[in-house]
Amino acid sequence: MAAARAVKVMGVVNVTPDSFSDAGRHLDPAAAVAHARRLIAEGADLLDVGGESTRPGAGPVSEAEEAARVVPVIEAVRAESAIPISVDTMKPAVARAAIAAGASLWNDVTALRHAPESLPLAAELGCEVVLMHMQGEPGTMQKAPRYDDVVAQVGAFLARRAEAAIAAGVDPARIWLDPGIGFGKHMTRHNLPLLAGLERITALGFPVLLGVSRKSFISALDGGGVTADRRLGGSIAGALWGAAAGVAAVRVHDVAATVQALRVWGAIAAART
């Protein structure tokens, strides 16, 4: 029998031509659905479907184009699996279409700040929401990120966004927080202290989603020049660090290896007396 895991694994399904880690591989809906199937077979607990890259320097995608990318994939996965599906979008219209197609979680890297209707819409849809921290905008966020105390500032921001969501009518039990590793953060000066202080984010009392998978800081820590497809070791180190800090879920590209790592880590942690 496989060991139980306390930390959920969210598998990434990017339906984009330009994502940093798997650019264009699943832009065709059939390829994206096949990828989703593979992630489910590998043990994913939930899937995150995205139609717009948020990588530093990424260009914008129209609402119609983004919805046209994600909706068929969500519908097709929903038709054959009961796995919870999240939509990775900052656009209210895309979130609405995705939830209608069968998603139950709105993962918003702007923490529902992109449009005035985002907060009320999240309340109206009654879905779960991921509120993520990002300094700046995706296009420019890595130019010159600045913090006095990154853990305190990210924590305060997330607490404020959770309050705003609750004030707008979002059920507090449906709120997740995410420190936004790599989003307006210097590779090492900000991402590392933020990960080191992760327990102060989990202590805010909401489930925390952590995304470190294949991110550039792994390359920076491994001598530089390490392409996204060669960052599995660092991604797993980050996932296990998150597990130790009490995160509820990790957002990953490599589901099978992460599931195994978390099973082993969880079994050892459970055997501690």
We find the least distance from the C-beta atom of residue 163 to ligand HH2, in angstroms, to be 19
Pick from 66, 88, 128, 254: which binds ligand HH2 (CB under 6 A)? 88
Distances (CA, A) of 269 to 16, 184, 202, 246, 265: 38, 33, 18, 12, 6
C-alpha–C-alpha distance, residues 184 and 207, integer Å: 22
Q: With binding defined as CB under 6 A, does residue 29 bind ligand HH2? A: no
We find the least distance from the C-beta atom of residue 209 to ligand HH2, in angstroms, to be 5
Q: Which token pair is 212?
A: 């470190």
Pick from 7, 11, 15, 21: which binds ligand HH2 (CB under 6 A)? 21
Cβ distance to ligand HH2 smaller for residue 21 or 118: 21
Pick from 26, 91, 96, 251: which binds ligand HH2 (CB under 6 A)? 251
C-alpha–C-alpha distance, residues 80 and 241, integer Å: 33
Pick from 53, 110, 235, 258: which binds ligand HH2 (CB under 6 A)? 53
We find the least distance from the C-beta atom of residue 170 to ligand HH2, in angstroms, to be 16
Helix (H) or strand (E) holding 88: strand 85-88
**Which of 11, 81, 21 lies closest to 49 in space, CA to CA?**
11
Q: With binding defined as CB under 6 A, does residue 16 bind ligand HH2? A: yes
Q: Which token pair is 117?
A: 């209707």
Pick from 5, 55, 186, 190: which binds ligand HH2 (CB under 6 A)? 55
Q: With binding defined as CB under 6 A, does residue 12 bind ligand HH2? A: yes
Q: With binding defined as CB under 6 A, does residue 102 bind ligand HH2? A: no
Decide if 164 contacts 112 (C-beta within 8 A): yes
Q: Is 189 helix (H, G, I), strand (E, B) or coil?
A: coil
Options 12-20, 33-41, 147-155, 191-199: segment touching ligand HH2 (CB under 6 A):
12-20
Q: With binding defined as CB under 6 A, does residue 181 bind ligand HH2? A: yes
Residues in region 139-168 near ligand HH2 by CB under 6 A: none
Helix (H) or strand (E) holding 68: helix 63-80
Options 117-125, 150-158, 173-181, 200-208: segment touching ligand HH2 (CB under 6 A):
173-181
Cβ distance to ligand HH2 smaller for residue 12 or 175: 12
Catalytic residue IDs: 215, 251
Count of residues of this chain found to bind ligand HH2 when the rule CB under 6 A is applied: 21
Q: What angle do CA 5, 75, 257 make, to 5 degrees?
A: 30
159-167 long-range contacts, CB within 8 A, separation 24+? 159/204, 161/111, 161/112, 161/113, 161/131, 162/131, 162/204, 162/206, 164/112, 164/119, 165/112, 165/119, 165/122, 165/123, 165/129, 165/131
We find the least distance from the C-beta atom of residue 54 to ligand HH2, in angstroms, to be 4
Pick from 15, 95, 99, 109: which binds ligand HH2 (CB under 6 A)? 109
- In the complex, the residues that contact ligand HH2 under the rule CB under 6 A are 12, 14, 16, 19-21, 50, 53-55, 88, 107, 109, 130, 132, 178, 180-181, 209, 211, 251
